[in-house]
Each structure stands twice: as C-alpha cells, then as structure tokens.
Amino acid sequence: MIIEERFKIASELHDSLAQTLASLKIQARVLDESIHQGDDSQMWNELEKLEDSIHKANAEIRELIKQFRTGPKATKNFITELENLIDSFKKENSSIKIFLQIEDKKVNLSDDQSRNTLKIIQEAITNVVKHSQAKIVRLFVSKEKDNTVNVLVEDDGIGIAKSCFIGHEEEVSGEHFGISVMKDRANQMNARLDIESEPGEGVRIKLNIPLN
C-alpha cells in the first residue's frame, strides 16, 4: 500500500510539476540564444513565456497540495480539456507543429478515464518536445463501433530504443520513467497502450479505451 502511494505521488509530480519545469528549462535555453543573437523581439517573447510557465508551476504546486488533501478534482468535458491542453502546448512550443483531429466530439469518458487519458497524452507530447527532435506531432481521437475510444499520437522524430518501452522500464531511469507511468494509467482504465518505434522513424503511441 505504501509503495503504491509512493508511486502515485511520484506519478502526479512527474505528470505536472516536473513537465512544467522541463518546459522552463527549454524556454530558458531559447531565451539565452535570443540574448546572444541580439534578437530583442524574440527575447521579450521568451521572457513572457517564462513568466507564464512560472505562474503555471506555482498553480500546479497549489493544485497538487489540494489533491493530496482532498483528492483530484472532477474533469470538465474531455474534448474541451484536450483542446485546451493542445493549445497550451502550441503556445509554449512554437518550433513544433501539433495537429489535432477529432472524429467524434461526443466522446463520453468517465472522470477517471478522462484524467488518465489526458495525462497519457500530455506525457506523450512532452516526450516529443524534450527528446524526439520532431517537427510535427499528429493526434487523432476516434470513437469506434465496438464502444471504445482510440487515441493515436505520432511524431516524425528520431524514435526511441525498444528497451525503453518493452518490459524494461524499471531498468531505465530519469526521462523514461514517464513510459512506466503511462502504462500504469492505461491499466487503471483497463485500456490497451501500444508503443511503436524504430530509431529514426518517430514514435506511435496507440491507446484503446473501453467505454463504461
């Protein structure tokens, strides 16, 4: 029980604050480049992004403290939350084009399904931003005839080694902890998570969620 709670806390920290801090690191690097290039317009733009991310980190800390005390808050409409998440990524990462395609906006996920699915998508795109060197990310959401919801996230980046996502998560530290968290969240929904990749061929993450 204690181990499960420790993993849950680590997962929540990883999925929220750790990702925002990683974004801050990237933004700080871009700001540094802008300063050295003497690009005042870009510099002020990056400063505004840094300020927004700092406010976001502060809000996430407060929300995490609240969740640990009272439990997670109920999610709004899944599609609305997803569109807000993608808009946030686009605002913070202008160097990567993110395309979202939703075939059916009447996707009714439970609060737990919605929360876990959004966290999986967030982790998938964060990994693209941090590690993949991709230029394009495509996200597809569809409702199938067998009463399941399919989510596909794919990028055109450098890909990852199979050892990172086939049964060896416990042997991989740091940046690949998120893959283990993604699989755990999928298991909580009785969903199927498949990760496909070859070096130089990008990554495809497929999530199949049974509707309640």
Per-residue pLDDT reduced to its tens digit, 101-137: 999 888 889 999 999 999 999 989 988 888 888 999 9
Would the pTM count as exceeding 0.85?
no
User: In one letter, which amino acid is 49?
Assistant: K
Per-residue pLDDT reduced to its tens digit, 137-153: 999 999 998 899 999 99
Domain ranges of the chain: 1-73, 75-212
| pLDDT range class, residue 75, cuts 50, 70, 90 | low
Q: Please name the fold of domain 75-212.
A: Heat Shock Protein 90 (3.30.565)
Average pLDDT, the chain: 82
Q: Going edge to edge, which strands form the sheet with 97-102?
A: 97-102, 136-143, 148-155, 203-210, 192-197
| pLDDT range class, residue 37, cuts 50, 70, 90 | confident
